[in-house]
Structures are given as C-alpha cells and as structure tokens.
Structure 1
Amino acid sequence: MWWNNLGLKEHLKFARDRPVECFMFAVGLNFHPGYTSFRILLSKVINLILIIDDVYDIYGSLEELKIFTNAVDRWDVGATEQLPECMKTCFQVLYNTTCEFAHEIEEESGWNLALPHLSKAVAIARPFPLFFFAFFFSPYGVHTFFSTTHRDGIKEIADFLHKNEDLVHNISLIVRLTNDLGTSTAEQERGDAPSAILCYMREMNASEDTAEAKIKGMIDNAWKKINGTCLRTPQQLPFLSPFINNIATNIARMAHSLYQAGDAFGDQEQGSRLIQSVLVEPLPL
C-alpha cells in the first residue's frame, strides 16, 4: 500500500519496482516474531536505496546528480528546484519517509534527536544506521533496549555507529563487491558503469579470473574485520551486541544470498525463484 501510494511507478518509470524483493531482504535480516515494524520500515529503506541507485546509475546527468547530492547534503527540499520533476519527486519521497521514520522513533521512545542522525546517514549514503534505528524502535527492540539502558544512551549508541566507520565500511564493502561479482557480466553487456572486477582488470592488466579472485579475497578480509567487531562489541556496549552480531552481519549474509547466482534484484525471474524459496515454499524435510 505504501509503495503504491507514493506513485513512484508513474513518476520514475526507469526505476526498479521491487517491493517484494525488498521485503524478502528485510526478512533475511530479522525473521523473528515481534519485529514486524522493523521489517516494514526496512523494506521502505531498501526500496528507496534502489530508487536512488537507479537515479544515479540510469537517469541523472552529472550536473543533475551534483544538484541532487547537494540537496541531500543540505537536507533541503528547496535545493531541488532546478531538477526534473521525477528527481524532485524522488528527493521529496526520501525526505518525507526519513522524517516519518524519525517521528515514529519519537512516538515510540520520546527521543526527538533521531532526524539529524538519520539525515546524516542518508547524506553519506549509509543505510546501516537506518537499519539500527528500525531494529531498536520496533516494539520488541524498544522493550529490550530500555530494560538494559537509559534513554540518554540512545545518543551514545548512535554515536558509536557513526564513529565505527570500519564496521559500516566493511559491511557496505561486502554488499558492493558481492553485487559486482553477481552482476559484472550482465552490466558489461549492457554497457553500464564499470564494476570493481572490470576496474581491477584494467588497472592491473589482469584476467577476469584473477580479478574475481582478488575481489573474493577482499570480501574474506572484510568478514574477518566484521567478526572482530562482533567479538569486541559485547565488552563495549553489551545491549548493542544483538544488533551487531545478528542484524548487521545478516546484511552481508543477505548480499551473498542475493548475488551468489546473479542479480536477484535486477533479474526478475531469478528474484521470483528466490522469493518462492524463501517466503512461499516450505523447507523440504
């Protein structure tokens, strides 16, 4: 309903229409009962990420993208006046949804400082902190959080996420590189922007097999660093460890699942098979 009410399918015909795939990703991050609001909010976030990705990769000119990026950095709807209507609509939806998200957090917890953290996360293209807020301000998350800490500690945790750039970087790196491994061939055929594999091949004068091996090695190294953070977090912030050790690492795991055999977001046939397997068909006994 939310997706249809936005009207983005009519305004942004070039963008991917993948609400079910986005929900499947959210289920992969946390399937436990009691986190319905987390999955709903996260599905919205992922939908918006896909749309913005398509605006940058497919639609916008360099000059338009500079204006769009500046508007996001300033968090200013008025800064989009020179953009085409579809890009104005995209920013307005991003702005409204983020504000709605912050309002829901305030309603749940009484914390009125979520918006600066959320807008900062959007401005530097980091969905990771948004996942955190969705998790902790779902009904079960609020109960767990406030039974182990005080309200002023929310800012402490938000600051922890902003300061731990390595965790954010390594999870984002795995998502980016698994995407490149799964989509590089198809993107080359379409003439899309070069992937990490193609860039490495050109820079190092390497074969495709060598480039893929290098990318897989980078993914393995990122996992080692993530696992190190998972071991340290319980000592630093015990109440944050459920998020880091489960939800955060599941972001990287879902990236492997989506791109291990191609592009489950770009290839609707493959995406449909994965949805059937995850959400519809029972596990064989």
Structure 2
Amino acid sequence: MLKETSVPRINARSYMSLYEENPSHNKDLITFAKLDFNILQKMHQNEAGGNTKWLRELDIHRNVPYPRDCATEAYFWSLLVIAEPKYSIQRTILAKLIICIAILDDTYDNYATIQELDLFTQAIHRWDIGLIESLPECMKVVFNVVVKLCDEIELETAKNRKSSLVIQYVKQAFFNFVEGYMVEAKWCHENYVPTYDEYKINGIETSTCPLEMTVLIALGEFATKDMFDWIFNYPKVLKAASLIARLRDDLGTHKFEQQSREHIASAVECCTKQYDVSQEDAYKLIQNEIEGYWKDINEACLINSDGIPNHVLDLILGLARASEFTYSNLKDDMVGSFEDKFSNGQLTKDYVVALLLDPIVP
C-alpha cells in the first residue's frame, strides 16, 4: 500500500484497494475505476517512452557528461502536476522542460566558471548562440537543447495561431529563470550569504514555478496576453507555490549540497543568519512559513478574487503538490532530516511502479 500523499493520482490507486475491501462497495464502480486507471496508465507509459526517446535522440549524455540522468523523474514530476488524458501535450513538454531545468541546474551549480555562466546567461537573454562561441562545446549543446524545446513549443502553439504571442513570453521566462541561477552563482563565487528575505525573492524564479507555469499556459486554451501578464506579475498564489517549491527543495537537499560540494547558502543558512537562530529553529520557522503559503493557495482556490480560470489555479496547485511530495520525505522522524525524491530514485521507485508499470488487476 502506498503512503497517502497530497497527489490525487497516487491516492486514487490506494483508495481503490481500500474501497474494494469494504463489503458494501459497488462492484460496477470499482470495475470502471480500475479500467479507467489502466487505460490512462497506458497513455502515460507511451508518453514516458516518447520522452526517453527524445532525450536519447539529443544524445545529451555523450555531448554533456555532467548532468543527472533524470528522464523518468522528470516525466513522473509532470504526471504529479497534471495527469488528465486531455493534457498529454502539456505533460510531455513539461517533462522535457524539467529535463532542461535539471541540465541547466547542473551547469550553473557544478560545471561552468562564473565568466562562462555570464556569457551563457547573456546568450539566453538575447537568444544568440554567437555570444557563446568561446565556451566549451557542451555549453553550446545545452543552449541548443533549450532552443529546440522552445522551437517545439512554438510549433505546437502555431496550431492555434498563438505562437507569435506565446514564444516571446516563454523566452522571457527562460531568461528570468537563468538570471536567478546567475544571481546564485555570483553569491557562491563571492562567498556571500544573502538574508533570508533576499534569498526568497530570488528563489521565486529559481523554484522553476514561473517558468513551468508560463510553458503550461502557453500550450493551453488560456494563452492570452492578460494571463501571461498575470503570471509575470507574480500573484500571491504563484508566489506561494514557488516558495513552497524553493523552501521544500532546500529542506530536502541542503545538507547533501553543503557537504558534497561548494554551493550557495540555502534557505536554512540564510534563515539562521538573518534571525540568528539555530539550524533546528530555522527548520521550524521555514516549516511554519510553508504552512502559511499553503493557506494562501487554499484561499486563492476557494475564493478566487482575481477571477482566474480554475484550470490555471489547478496547475499552480499541482506544482505545489509535486514539490511537497518530492521534497517532504522526513527521514527517521528527525527534525530537519529530509530526503530528495527527485535525486534519489529509490525513494520514488514504488510510486513509479504503481503509476507507470503495474496495472490494477481487475
């Protein structure tokens, strides 16, 4: 039996088993529920296979030796965000985006010099590979992977005659994202520990949520100038999801990153600095803030004072749920002892098997 989570697709499988154990269960209802689950699982299997083929055709791991192999984790993340059958395009492109984000993350964190990263960031800003002619070949490959993904998004949105509107926002979102990484790279290079408040402002971008939302909206029916402007103004609900993602990520990975390599101070170190508290107190403060951000999301979904389409709010909620699931795995019941399911595939193995490999026996 899988542990209960905040993700509906995971819980659906567990609830079916529990419901079937009830002597008064409706046999027709459980039969159709299993059939629906298995049909959708086949669709998800095909999508995951397509993404693996896409990555293999890019030959990224031969040309760029340093990034993580996270094709399965990337698709699984997209499945946590949006599982419904009619959103197949959004799901598959989101998975490709997550792969790109992981490659960029490793490029900014582990590979390039500060001078190389500065040129690379400028190239993304101007969308001009000519700016990085002097950089290592692998960084040119990374740039081209980003360009190819944007070309695919442009091709998809051209079907609805929205590509000219959409692509400018997607490119701007990519730049905003890598600019956030560039800020972190400079902090690390200068051994600068920002305040907690300063860190969170930049962390909205590095959380990846604004970029992911821009791409998801670009591929859907609500791709309008007003909707993109709403996202780029960072409304309260998007800030909340972004900071849940950023802070949960930091709680789950900061110990490993601080011990294994030179790395920017995480939210934990920034919090201990700003408030002059112990690491344990910083964990508690951050956990309390995360709970507050969840209240902001609940309020937005229940009241929706901005009149935002429910589907858009559901996407933001899905991003927050995916982050909560991925980074809130408390280890050994110790305060602040978290593990990262994205980087450690063993922690997601049972969930991947249940959602993508094993059908439910009728």
Other-structure match for 1:93: 145
Q: Give secondary structure in 2 for the equivalent of 1:26.
A: helix
- Residue identity opposite 1:227 in structure 2: N
CA–CA separation in structure 2 for the residues paired with 1:274 and 1:192: 32
CA–CA separation in structure 1 for the residues paired with 2:83 and 2:116: 39
1:76-87 → structure 2 map (5 Å cutoff): 76-87=128-139
Other-structure match for 1:250: 318
- Between the two proteins, what is the percent identity of the paired residues? 29
Other-structure match for 2:291: 220
Shift of 1:88: 1.1
Structure 2 runs not aligned, ≥5 long: 1-52, 178-204, 330-338
Q: Give secondary structure in 2 for the equivalent of 1:13.
A: coil
Q: Normalising by the residue count of structure 2, what TM-score does the alignment of the two structures yield?
A: 0.68
Shift of 1:241: 2.0
Shift of 1:202: 4.1
Q: Give secondary structure in 1 for the equivalent of 2:80.
A: helix
Question: Does 127-136 or 209-218 show the bigger shift?
Answer: 127-136
- Residue identity opposite 2:104 in structure 1: I
Q: For the Cα contact (< 8 Å) 1:106–1:114, is it kept in 2?
A: no
Structure 1 runs not aligned, ≥5 long: 146-152
1:161-240 → structure 2 map (5 Å cutoff): 161-193=231-263, 194-231=265-302, 233=304, 235-238=305-308, 240=309
Question: Is structure 2 residue 105 aligned with structure 1 residue 36?
Answer: no
Aligned residues: 271
Question: Is structure 2 residue 350 aligned with structure 1 residue 280?
Answer: no
Shift of 1:164: 3.3
Q: For the Cα contact (< 8 Å) 1:108–1:137, is it kept in 2?
A: no
Q: Give secondary structure in 1 for the equivalent of 2:84.
A: coil
Q: 1:236 to 1:260 in 2, by over 3 A?
A: closer
Other-structure match for 2:98: 46
Shift of 1:135: 4.4
Which deviations, in whole Å up to 9, do the C-alpha atoms of 1:96-121 show, x marking residues without a partner? 21122122111234452111010011
- Residue identity opposite 2:120 in structure 1: F
Q: Out of 50, 54, 59, which is 1:7 matched to?
A: 59
Q: Give secondary structure in 2 for the equivalent of 1:108.
A: coil
Q: 1:77 to 1:229 in 2, by over 3 A?
A: farther
Q: Out of 115, 118, 143, which is 2:170 matched to?
A: 118
Q: Out of 217, 227, 244, which is 1:157 matched to?
A: 227
CA–CA separation in structure 2 for the residues paired with 1:135 and 1:203: 35
Other-structure match for 1:266: 343
Shift of 1:192: 4.0
Question: Does 36-45 or 262-271 show the bigger shift?
Answer: 262-271
Q: For the Cα contact (< 8 Å) 1:109–1:137, is it kept in 2?
A: no
Q: For the Cα contact (< 8 Å) 1:45–1:130, is it kept in 2?
A: no
1:126-145 → structure 2 map (5 Å cutoff): 126=205, 127-128=208-209, 131-132=212-213, 135=216, 141-142=220-221
* Bigger radius of gyration among the two: 2
Which deviations, in whole Å up to 9, do the C-alpha atoms of 1:111-139 show, x marking residues without a partner? 5211101001111015445544654566x
CA–CA separation in structure 1 for the residues paired with 2:344 and 2:228: 35
Q: For the Cα contact (< 8 Å) 1:105–1:114, is it kept in 2?
A: yes
Q: For the Cα contact (< 8 Å) 1:15–1:51, is it kept in 2?
A: yes
CA–CA separation in structure 2 for the residues paired with 1:71 and 1:169: 27
CA RMSD after TM alignment: 2.5
CA–CA separation in structure 1 for the residues paired with 2:213 and 2:109: 27
- Residue identity opposite 2:100 in structure 1: L
- Residue identity opposite 2:87 in structure 1: Y
Shift of 1:25: 0.8
Q: Give secondary structure in 2 for the equivalent of 1:124.
A: helix
Q: Normalising by the residue count of structure 1, what TM-score does the alignment of the two structures yield?
A: 0.85
Shift of 1:59: 0.6
